Structure 1
Amino acid sequence: MKKLGILAAVLLAQATFSQTNRFVYQVTSKPDISNKGDIKTENAYLDISAEKSMFYSENRIKRDSVMKANFQSGGARGFNREQMEGLRTNMNYSIEKDKKNQKTLYKDRLGRDQYAYEEDRPLDWKILSETTKIGEYKVQKAETEFGGRKWTAWFTTDLPYQDGPYKFSGLPGLVVKAEDADGDYSFDLMKNYKISEFPEMTTFGNVIKVKRTDYVKQQEKYKSDPASFMNSQRGGGGISAPMRIGGGGNQNPADMRKRMEERAKEEAKRNSNPIELK
């Protein structure tokens, strides 16, 4: 009986550890360099299991769900423009951290395709002695320079995770708060709870794996001339599914392309102060 009790305890511990924990962060950003008074706030999820973690926008997963349901129904009703605008996000990317191999995979959409690269810059943290309390957690201060910004993070060892929002990891605890020195970006832990499994991330277009430096080059090409960039992508002249939002009816391809280019330029302006400056 004693052995059975021990076995049951072990199985319970394994089942608990195998669950996925979701940490909800409030992400505050000033993405438009010409208008820093325009502050964007949205929620993002950091889902953590024993093998990996994923960081992505709450609105992104909700928006993808709406789009997927629409496509599966044949798209007969079209998209609700107001609903889709309400699910706009400044974080179209997703970040997956492979714990076993210590690798970070970044995915983002450029035009009609998804580009993925493995982060090749390790985070070099300086852990300081300063401690405080944020919410219910005792936290300790750490600093690093990454992507052209100086970051301050506060991490806790009260939780059994060495992870954090965005690409932040490598500290001996979970990042509860991270903020850059200019106050342009901040990540603040709001709450956490368990979920049964990782959500399925919808992929539109092809997934193209590149080196980080090549991704940066493609990103610049897209910003400078979005129409030409999309013409050069695989599949020729079709319009990608995400770019059809707000359409409806049979539209002139030239008009669609013009609107698509205008939206891409507006997006580039809205994101003229990116989280990574270099």
Structure 2
Amino acid sequence: MAMVKKYSALIFLIVFIITSAQNLTIAYELTYKPSTSRKDSSRSKLYFLDIINNESIFRDAMRRQSDSLIFYGNGYGLGYPNNINDQLYLKKDLKTNTLLKYMVLPLSRDVFYVGVNEALTWKLFPETKIIDEIKCQKAEVNYGGRSWTAWFSENIKPSEGPYVFNGLPGLVVEIYDSNNDYLFKLVKIRKSNHKNLFSMKGGKKVSWEELTKLQQDYYKDPFSFTKTQSIKVMTDDGSGGLKKVNLRESTLSIQSDLKEYNNVIELNKKIDYK
């Protein structure tokens, strides 16, 4: 939580400057538990909500940097983690409130996206509290099979927040689920001088059912793409050279991670990997 303290004074100073800005960069720290069975599984990541010209993207810091590298022609970016459960990447059209959740298969780099159509029905409460010198009001909502408590500030616009959470009378400063598996907290907000979101390009639109099938197929054979394309999979041999990957061992390792670290944010879309 040191990151939060570091930026609290900055937030307080610029709140009233940026409330009318259209192009913003908003950073959230996500603390989450990718595994429900391992008490030591808690992790933290920095995420960015970039807003430009009525469009926004929510993604982690590594993905944001990777998108920028790809945009400027630097190859394939920074790669993707083997555990597809750990991907939170959301595009939003602020005019139509259209939300698209993206997933990338790590080896083939195939991009898929699905519409997020679950309505957010917020319940507001008169209760208030101060978070990092910002007066916030309480709200609750159900999403993804989880119950969420949010604290938002009417003094900070726009009416946005991390991931899918928007539609309140101000910016979400903090939001967490009732299981304490996910906690998003505002750490930084500033005007953006960028003219481009450097967003992920292309992709195939799929239904949630099709997305589930893609994830199940990936679990069954993470290296199916390399096999059908006769691509050799190599890794660092520890001495500056390359060696062939043992596909069986790597497959078992990926499958184990997918089963163990499967506490996904959309609990109602959780896959029982077998």
TM-score normalised per structure 1: 0.73
Equivalent residue, structure 1, for 2:263: 273
Shift of 1:148: 1.2
Q: Where does 1:1-278 land on structure 2 (aligned, <5 Å)?
A: 20-63=23-66, 72=75, 91-111=86-106, 112=108, 113-197=110-194, 198-201=196-199, 207-228=203-224, 230=225, 236-237=228-229, 246=236, 251-252=243-244, 255=245, 257-258=247-248, 260-262=250-252, 264-269=254-259, 271-278=261-268
- Contact kept in structure 2, 1:56 and 1:91, CA below 8 Å: no
Shift of 1:216: 2.4
Distance 1:67 1:225 in 2: 27
TM-score normalised per structure 2: 0.74
Residues 19-71 of structure 1: CA deviation (Å, up to 9, x unaligned)? 52111111001002221322101110011234111110012223556788996
Distance 2:55 2:231 in 1: 34
- Contact kept in structure 2, 1:59 and 1:89, CA below 8 Å: no
Shift of 1:260: 5.0
Larger helix share, 1 or 2: 1
Distance 1:107 1:188 in 2: 22
Aligned length: 244
Equivalent residue, structure 1, for 2:14: none
Shift of 1:244: 6.4
Alpha-carbon spacing, 1:219–1:96, altered in 2? closer, same or farther (3 Å): same
Q: Which has the larger radius of gyration?
A: 1
Q: Which moved more, 1:207-216 or 1:27-36?
A: 207-216
SS in 1 for 2:140: strand
- Overall identity of the aligned pairs, in %: 32
Question: Any gaps of 5 or more consecutive residues in structure 1?
Answer: 1-15
SS in 2 for 1:264: helix
Partner AA of 1:150 in structure 2: S
Distance 1:183 1:265 in 2: 26
Residues 104-147 of structure 1: CA deviation (Å, up to 9, x unaligned)? 01111134211111112111111112111111321111111111
Alpha-carbon spacing, 1:239–1:24, altered in 2? closer, same or farther (3 Å): farther
Alpha-carbon spacing, 1:273–1:217, altered in 2? closer, same or farther (3 Å): same
Deviating beyond 4 angstroms after TM superposition, the runs of 4 or more aligned structure 1 residues are 16-19, 63-72, 88-91, 243-252
Shift of 1:277: 1.1
Partner AA of 2:111 in structure 1: Q
- Contact kept in structure 1, 2:150 and 2:174, CA below 8 Å: yes
